[in-house]
Chain A
Amino acid sequence: MIEFDHLATLSAAAGPFPLALGFGAPWMLWGMAAGSIPVIIHLLNKRKFRQTDWAAMRFLLAAIKKNKRRIELEQWILLAIRTLLILLLVGAMARPVLESLAPAMFAGERSHRVLVLDGSMSMNRKIADLTRFERARTLARQIVKEARRGDVLSVILMGDPPKVIVGEPSPNLEQVSREIDLVSPTHGATDLLATFGSIRRVLESSPLPNKELLFLTDLQRATWARPGTENAAGLKAEADKLTAAGIRPVLIDLGTASEANVAVTDLRIETPVVLAGVPASVRAQLRNFGPEAKPGVLVRMIVDGQLGPERTVDLPVGESVSLDFTHVFREPGDHVVEIATDADPLAPDDRRSLVASVKDRIRILLVDGDLNPEPFAAETDYLAQALAPAESAQPGEAGAANDPGTVPPIALEVIPESRFGNVEMATYDVIVMANVSQPSDPEAVALDKYVRQGGGLVLFTGDRTVAEGWNSRLATPERMLLPATIGQSVGDAARKTGAFLIEPLAYRHPLVTDYEGAAPAVQSGLTQVATWQYHKLTRQADSEARVALAFDSGDPAIVEASRGRGRVFLVATSADSQWSTWPLHPSYPVVMGEMALLAASGRTGEKNLTVGQAIDQAYPTAAGAAPVTLRTPEKGVRELTLRPDADGSYLRLDPPETSGVFEAEIGPPVSRRDKFAVNVPVVESDPARIEPGALKEAVPGFDPVVIKSADELTKAAEEVARRGEIHRPMLLAVLVLILAETLMAWWMGRRVTRVSVS
C-alpha cells in the first residue's frame, strides 16, 4: 500500500511522474489514519482479555508450541489485510485519480469549466453554410446547456491577443450562453502563450477544486505549432502548471484534412514613394494551399472601390504566383488598392488591401551642422542641389518641386543644427542630418520615436561629428537607432592622399540596383568616387543592418537598417566635398534621391497592418486633441479624439480583430482623411493541420483528450473519468479483501491475535 507521505510526494511532483496521483476529495485522506485501527485493536487486545482457569494446559501449551510460527504469520497477514482494507476504503473515498489519465470531468462534482474557443482566421472557413466558428459556438452553447447544477463557466477566445469573454466564473448559464452568441472570430492568428496565460489566470480565479478545460479548435498547425516559435519554454511551463493542477484538457477537433484554399498572400507597391501622377507598380502574390491545382483563377484589382484590371492565373499546388499591375494615382492622399480572387470557403484571405499614400511631394528636412552662406560651402548645399536641382533651397525655406515625370518632387527645408530642437519632426518624411556634432538627449529621444513611427533618417558624418555623442545616445542596447556605431575617422582629407574608392558590393542593395548591368562608364560614376576621409562604422554583431556600399578598405560606406516602421541610413563620409569627391560625380544625385525615397517609404508602410497590430499614427502637434471619426470595415462608426503628446498628436487604436480598411476623418483644427489597411496574417491561410498525436511535441507537456464532436464529449468524459479515477477498482479490491479476510479467518480458525506465553 502506498503511504500517505508517498502520495503527497507524487502529487507534488505530478509533472514528471506518468502515474502520479491526484484526489477528488483530498480531505478524505485524513481518514487514512483509520488504517491504524486494526493495529490499535491488536495492541489493545494484548492488554485486555478474559481470564479462565484451565486444566488441560499441557495440551494447549503443546499446540501453541507446535503452531506458534504459523499463528504469528497468519496474524500478520490478517493484520495487513485489515489495515489495507481500511486504507483502500478511505483511499477510494478520497477519489484518487491517476494524473496521466486525469479525468477531464469528474462526473457528479461541481466544477469550473473553461471553454476556449479558437478565434483565429482559419475558424472562418465555411462548411455547409456554417463556418467552423459557428459550429464551435453551437457546441459551446450545447456544453453550457448540459452543464451540471452548480457548475460555473468561463469563456476565452484564442487570438492574438487572446480575449477573456467571461473571466469571472459564472453560474449564470443563460448569461454565458448570450456572451457566446456575441463572440465573433477574428481574422488574426493566435498567441498561444498569451492564451495559456489567460487560461491559467481564469482557472486560478475559481475556488472550486474541480476544473475542466475544453478547447474548441480546428487544430490548425499555424495555431498550435507555429514554426520557429520562441515560446516553447513558456508554453511548457504553462502546460506543466495545468498538469500540476490536475487538469487534463479536452480538445474538440473541428478541423478536416486536405482543405482547399487560395489566398492573396502579399500585396505591395514596388515604388518606394507613390507620387500623384506617377505610375506605381503594384505587385500581388497568390498561393494555392489546397491539395489540387487551381487553373483559371480570376484576379481583380479594385482601386478606391472602382474595379480595375482583371487577370486570370493558374495556381499549381503549393506554389505562389506573382501578378504585377500598374496604376497611376491622380490625386494625392490615401488610396485603397484591393486584390480579390474568386470566393472560396475561407473568405477573409480571398482579398488583400493596401493603402497607398500618394504624395504630391516628399518633405525633407536638411539639418546642416556646418552652415555657410557661401555657395556650396555649407554642408548640405550639394545635397540640396542633388535632391531638388531646379531650385536651391534657402535655409528656413521650402524648396520648389521639379518635373514630376522624371524626378520626384521634393520639398526641402534647410535649417542649422541650432534650430533642430524646435522642429516638429512628424511634418517631414525624411530628416537628413549632415555633419551635426551630436544630438541632445531630448533630440535623441524624439529622433528615435520619429523613426519608429515611420520617419526616415539619413545621417552624414563629417569633421564636426562627435562619434561618442551619437553612439552613447542612439547606439545603445536600450535605444538602438543607428545601424552601426560611429568610430574614429580614417584617412586625411586635408592632405587628400590615399583615396578610398567605393565598393558597390555587387549592387545588391536597392540603393544601387539601378547600376547593376549598367555600362562601365555609368558604373564608374559610382565606383570611382574618391573618399579621403571617413568614420569607421561598425555594425552590431547580431545586427540586421545591411551594408549598402563599402569602401575598398573593407569598411562600410553606407549602412542601412529598419527601425520600427522607419528606416535609417548612416553614411560614413561627409555630404559635401570636404571629405569626398562624390558630390561632384553623376552618381551622387541618383543615389541621394534613391536614399531619400527609401528613407521616406516607412511613411506609407505605417498604414498597412496585419490583424493584431495596433494602429498608431502620428500627427503634427497642431492637431491637438482633434476629433476623429473612424469607420470600420464592418461599416461601424466610432468617434474618437487624437491623443496629444510631447512630440505630436497620435491616433492610437487597439489591435483590430478583423481585416479590411479603416478610415479616419480627423479635424478640425487639422483636416485629414487617413486610411489604414488591415490584412489577415498569411500563416492563417495555410490549412495544414497538426495531428492530435503531435500536439504533445508542439506544446511540450500538453496532452489533451482529443475528440471529434460534442456527442463524444459526454462519452469521453465518462471514459476518461473511468480511466483516471481508480476508486472503483479500489472498492473492488476492498470487496476482494473482505472475501480474503473471511476465507483466511475460516481457514486458520478465524481471527488472529498475538500469542504470548508466560
Chain B
Amino acid sequence: MVQPSPFLDPQNLAKLQGLDLVARRAVEGYVSGLHKSPYHGFSVEFAEHREYSPGDDIRHVDWKVWSKTDRLYLKLYEEETNLLTYLMLDTSQSMDYASEGQVTKLHYAKMIAACLSYLVLHQSDSVGLATFDARVSRVLRPSGQASQLKEILGVMERSAGGEKTDLSRVFHDLAERAKRRGLVVVLSDLFEDPERVVSGLKHFRHRRHDVVVMHILDPAELTFPFRGTTEFRGLEALGNVVIDPLTIRKAYQEEFGKFVEAVRRGCRVANIDYLQLTTDQNLAVPLSAYLRARQGGRMVS
C-alpha cells in the first residue's frame, strides 16, 4: 500500500501502470525477465556489507563480523536485486524556482523520483536516492524492499532548496560511490556549464552505468514571458538585473537554447538518454512516453 505523499500522485501512477523501467544495457542481476544479466544462471554472491539500520531484516546480519567488531553489518548479496536504479536529485537553489502557477522544479523532480521509485520497486528492482546541491547531501542505497519507497519519500520531504550547484563535482563524487552498474537517473535543471555537466555525466558512463538525464525546466525559463520593467533577482547568488524583458527576450532565448542544445548534444555523444521536462507538463505523459521508448529500445535525446 502506497502511503499518501505530495510527490506521489495516484493519477500519475495509474497512467504509468503497466510500464516498466527497463535497463537498456546488461545489468548485474540474477532475476531473469526484464533485464539482461552479465552472469549466467542463478548465483547468490556476497557483494558487500552495509551498516545495520533499524528495520533491516536481521536474517542478513553478518554475525561473524559482529563477533569480531561488535558492530551490526548486513551482508548484501548481488542476488538481492536485478536492476539498481540510482535517482540523483538536484536540490540546489535554482531548482527551487517556480513561475507563476507552476510547482517548483524541485517539487516536480521529486514527483518524478517518487513515480520512478514506485515503478522500480513495483517491478521488483532496487532503487536508491542521492540528493545534492553543491555537494552530495543525502544518499539512500538502492534497495528493493517495500520500505524503500517510504525511505525515499521521507528523504525527499526533508530536502529543500539548498545552495549553489556544482554538478560536475557532485556527479564525479556520486559516480565513485555507485560502484555497481545500474541505471542512473539525474533529475536536475543542469544550470551549469554544459561541458562540465556532460563531463560529470560521462563519469557515470565510464562506470558502465545506464544514464538518463531528466532535464527539469520551468516553462518560463524557455519562453521568458515577462512584460514590463522587471528586476530579476538571481538565485544562487548571481546578482540582480533590472530590464524590460521584451528587449532581451530573443537574446535570452538564444542563450538558453544554446545551453539546452549543448547539454542534449553532450548526452547524445555520451550515449545518455536526455529527456526535457517542464513543470507545466503532466509528468505522466512524457514519462510514459519515455518508458515506452525505452521498452522499444530506442535511444531518447
A757 to B240, CA, bound (A): 7
The residues in A between 59 and 73 inclusive whose CB is less than 8 angstroms from any CB of B are: 59-64, 66-67, 71
Any chain B CB within 8 A of the CB of A50?
Answer: yes
Select one of B191, B244, B254 contacting A56, CB under 8 A: B191
A56 to B94, CA, bound (A): 8
Select one of B93, B231, B239, B248 contacting A67, CB under 8 A: B248
A467 to B218, CA, bound (A): 121
The reply to whether A51 and B231 contact each other, CB–CB distance below 8 Å, is yes
Q: Choose among A50, A51, A71 the residue with the greatest number of B CB atoms under 10 Å from its CB.
A: A50
The reply to whether A751 and B247 contact each other, CB–CB distance below 8 Å, is yes
Select one of B233, B244, B254, B255 contacting A54, CB under 8 A: B233
Contact stretch, chosen from B13-21, B166-174, B221-229: B221-229
Would you give the shortest CB distance from A51 to chain B, in whole angstroms?
5
Any chain B CB within 8 A of the CB of A124?
Answer: no
CB neighbours of B228 from chain A (8 A):
49-50
CB closest residue in chain A, given B259: A59
The reply to whether A75 and B97 contact each other, CB–CB distance below 8 Å, is no
Using known A-B contacts A66-B251, A749-B249, A752-B247, determine if residue A52 contacts B230 with beta carbons closer than 8 Å. yes
Using known A-B contacts A49-B229, A63-B252, A758-B242, determine if residue A54 contacts B247 with beta carbons closer than 8 Å. no
The reply to whether A55 and B235 contact each other, CB–CB distance below 8 Å, is yes
The reply to whether A51 and B252 contact each other, CB–CB distance below 8 Å, is no
Select one of A48, A52, A63, A753 contacting B251, CB under 8 A: A63
Any chain A CB within 8 A of the CB of B189?
Answer: yes
The residues in A between 699 and 749 inclusive whose CB is less than 8 angstroms from any CB of B are: 748-749
- The contact size tier of chain B is 35 or more
Size of interface on A: residues with Cβ below 8 Å to B: 34
Any chain B CB within 8 A of the CB of A45?
Answer: yes
Any chain A CB within 8 A of the CB of B39?
Answer: no
Using known A-B contacts A57-B236, A57-B238, A61-B238, determine if residue A71 contacts B231 with beta carbons closer than 8 Å. no
A575 to B206, CA, bound (A): 151
Any chain B CB within 8 A of the CB of A58?
Answer: yes
Any chain A CB within 8 A of the CB of B297?
Answer: no
Select one of A55, A63, A756 contacting B255, CB under 8 A: A63
CB neighbours of A748 from chain B (8 A):
247
Select one of A45, A55, A66 contacting B218, CB under 8 A: A55
The residues in B between 194 and 239 inclusive whose CB is less than 8 angstroms from any CB of A are: 218, 221, 226, 228-236, 238-239
The reply to whether B242 and A54 contact each other, CB–CB distance below 8 Å, is no
A48 to B228, CA, bound (A): 10
CB neighbours of B66 from chain A (8 A):
none
Any chain B CB within 8 A of the CB of A74?
Answer: yes
Interface string of A32-56 (1 = CB under 8 A from B): 0000000000000110111111111
Would you give the shortest CB distance from B106 to chain A, in whole angstroms?
11
The reply to whether A55 and B247 contact each other, CB–CB distance below 8 Å, is no
Any chain A CB within 8 A of the CB of B299?
Answer: no
Any chain A CB within 8 A of the CB of B256?
Answer: yes
Any chain B CB within 8 A of the CB of A750?
Answer: yes
Any chain A CB within 8 A of the CB of B71?
Answer: no
Any chain B CB within 8 A of the CB of A233?
Answer: no
A756 to B244, CA, bound (A): 10
A53 to B218, CA, bound (A): 12
Using known A-B contacts A50-B229, A51-B231, A56-B221, determine if residue A758 contacts B241 with beta carbons closer than 8 Å. yes
The reply to whether B238 and A753 contact each other, CB–CB distance below 8 Å, is no
The reply to whether B234 and A57 contact each other, CB–CB distance below 8 Å, is yes
A63 to B241, CA, bound (A): 12
Any chain B CB within 8 A of the CB of A755?
Answer: yes
Using known A-B contacts A55-B97, A60-B232, A750-B247, determine if residue A49 contacts B252 with beta carbons closer than 8 Å. no
Any chain A CB within 8 A of the CB of B50?
Answer: no
Using known A-B contacts A49-B231, A749-B250, determine if residue A58 contacts B239 with beta carbons closer than 8 Å. no
Using known A-B contacts A48-B229, A49-B229, A52-B233, determine if residue A71 contacts B248 with beta carbons closer than 8 Å. yes
The reply to whether A752 and B244 contact each other, CB–CB distance below 8 Å, is yes
Would you give the shortest CB distance from A618 to chain B, in whole angstroms?
94
CB closest residue in chain A, given B95: A55
CB neighbours of A752 from chain B (8 A):
244, 247
The reply to whether A60 and B252 contact each other, CB–CB distance below 8 Å, is yes
CB closest residue in chain B, given A755: B243
A711 to B277, CA, bound (A): 80
Would you give the shortest CB distance from B236 to chain A, in whole angstroms?
7
Would you give the shortest CB distance from B162 to chain A, in whole angstroms?
13
Would you give the shortest CB distance from A747 to chain B, in whole angstroms?
10
Any chain A CB within 8 A of the CB of B293?
Answer: no
Would you give the shortest CB distance from A746 to chain B, in whole angstroms?
10
Any chain A CB within 8 A of the CB of B246?
Answer: yes
The reply to whether B247 and A75 contact each other, CB–CB distance below 8 Å, is yes
Q: Choose among A45, A52, A59 the residue with the greatest number of B CB atoms under 10 Å from its CB.
A: A59
A59 to B261, CA, bound (A): 13
Would you give the shortest CB distance from A174 to chain B, in whole angstroms?
64
The reply to whether B191 and A58 contact each other, CB–CB distance below 8 Å, is yes
CB neighbours of B94 from chain A (8 A):
55-56
Select one of B218, B234, B246 contacting A750, CB under 8 A: B246
CB neighbours of A75 from chain B (8 A):
247
CB neighbours of B249 from chain A (8 A):
749
CB neighbours of A52 from chain B (8 A):
226, 230-233
The reply to whether A71 and B229 contact each other, CB–CB distance below 8 Å, is no
Interface string of B94-128 (1 = CB under 8 A from A): 11110000000100000000000000000000000
Select one of B241, B246, B252 contacting A757, CB under 8 A: B241
The residues in B between 67 and 93 inclusive whose CB is less than 8 angstroms from any CB of A are: 93
Q: Choose among A48, A57, A66 the residue with the greatest number of B CB atoms under 10 Å from its CB.
A: A57
The residues in B between 142 and 195 inclusive whose CB is less than 8 angstroms from any CB of A are: 189, 191
A164 to B281, CA, bound (A): 91
CB closest residue in chain B, given A50: B230
The reply to whether B233 and A753 contact each other, CB–CB distance below 8 Å, is no
The reply to whether A58 and B238 contact each other, CB–CB distance below 8 Å, is yes
Would you give the shortest CB distance from A81 to chain B, in whole angstroms?
15
Select one of B230, B242, B246, B252 contacting A59, CB under 8 A: B252
CB neighbours of B256 from chain A (8 A):
56, 59
The reply to whether A751 and B221 contact each other, CB–CB distance below 8 Å, is no
Using known A-B contacts A59-B259, A753-B247, determine if residue A53 contacts B241 with beta carbons closer than 8 Å. no
The reply to whether B229 and A55 contact each other, CB–CB distance below 8 Å, is no
The reply to whether B218 and A71 contact each other, CB–CB distance below 8 Å, is no
Would you give the shortest CB distance from B233 to chain A, in whole angstroms?
5
CB neighbours of A755 from chain B (8 A):
242-244, 247-248
Would you give the shortest CB distance from B160 to chain A, in whole angstroms?
15
A59 to B96, CA, bound (A): 17
A55 to B226, CA, bound (A): 14
A313 to B60, CA, bound (A): 159
The reply to whether A61 and B241 contact each other, CB–CB distance below 8 Å, is yes
CB neighbours of B239 from chain A (8 A):
57, 61, 757-758
A701 to B153, CA, bound (A): 97
The reply to whether A57 and B259 contact each other, CB–CB distance below 8 Å, is no
CB neighbours of A61 from chain B (8 A):
234, 238-239, 241
Using known A-B contacts A50-B228, A55-B218, A59-B255, determine if residue A751 contacts B244 with beta carbons closer than 8 Å. yes
CB closest residue in chain B, given A63: B251
CB neighbours of B218 from chain A (8 A):
55
The reply to whether B241 and A64 contact each other, CB–CB distance below 8 Å, is yes
The reply to whether B226 and A753 contact each other, CB–CB distance below 8 Å, is no
Select one of A49, A55, A71, A749 contacting B242, CB under 8 A: A49
Would you give the shortest CB distance from B23 to chain A, in whole angstroms?
32
CB neighbours of A66 from chain B (8 A):
251, 255
CB neighbours of A45 from chain B (8 A):
229, 244
The reply to whether B246 and A63 contact each other, CB–CB distance below 8 Å, is no
Interface string of A107-138 (1 = CB under 8 A from B): 00000000000000000000000000000000
Instruction: Please list 11 pairs of residues, one from A and one from B, whose beta carbons are closer than 8 Å in the complex, sorted by A's number.
Output: A52-B230, A57-B239, A58-B191, A58-B238, A60-B232, A64-B243, A67-B248, A71-B248, A757-B242, A758-B240, A758-B241
12 extra interchain contacts, Cβ-Cβ under 8 A, other than A53-B235, A757-B239? A51-B233, A52-B231, A52-B233, A55-B95, A59-B259, A63-B251, A64-B248, A64-B251, A71-B247, A749-B249, A751-B246, A756-B242
The 8 closest A-B pairs by CB, nearest first: A57-B234, A55-B97, A63-B251, A753-B244, A57-B238, A55-B94, A54-B232, A49-B229
